Amino acid sequence: MPESNQTTYLWSVVTLLLALLLQILPLSEPLVYWRPQFVLLLVFYWLFRSPFKHGIAFAWLAGLSLDIFIGELFGRHAVVFALSAYLLQLLQQRLHHFRVIHQAVLVLVLVLTSQLLLHSITLLLRANWQGDLVVMPAVTSAVIWPLLVWLLNRLIAPQPSQNMSANH
């Protein structure tokens, strides 16, 4: 049974809120540099799962929400997330044939690209470059991608009801 539009949008809002909370969760100083890009990963997940219901506008809104949550320059994450979503949509037809491990490699490249763009925008405002901060979140994002896909597919996928299977 396919998911309804309302169910899909409800799940995307709920998971976006959870990703925002994970993104701002306080961590110790060494761990904060390794924090995966939860909101961007969630955008990628929804673009993989339902590309016709979620697109560049969803990515832009998720990025703007992250900017508001963390108090950054408004639009910084929004623009980068929209560009990342556009790149992902360019590859959409091929990606459905990828295994989750191969998707993780693509996630690594896309998150690394988004991190480079974010830091480039930051360099326009502040002149402090920390290159290791670009790579570490991309690596952890790629590592947790298979777990995130498995977990969200388990939570969101419609389960067949007991009554329907008993009637057939």
pLDDT of residue 167: 43
| Mean pLDDT value across residues 33-42 | 94
Give percent of the chain with pLDDT exceeding 70: 89
Domain residue spans of the chain: 34-157
Regarding predicted confidence, which is higher, 87 or 133? 87
pLDDT of residue 166: 41
Kindly write down the DSSP assignment for every residue of the chain, as one continuous string.
-PPPHHHHHHHHHHHHHHHHHHHH----HHHHTT---HHHHHHHHHHHH-TTTS-HHHHHHHHHHHHHHHT--TTHHHHHHHHHHHHHHHTHHHHTTS-HHHHHHHHHHHHHHHHHHHHHHHHHH-----THHHHHHHHHHHHHHHHHHHHHHHHHSPPPPHHHHHH-
pLDDT of residue 162: 40
pLDDT of residue 157: 72
- Chain mean pLDDT for the chain: 86
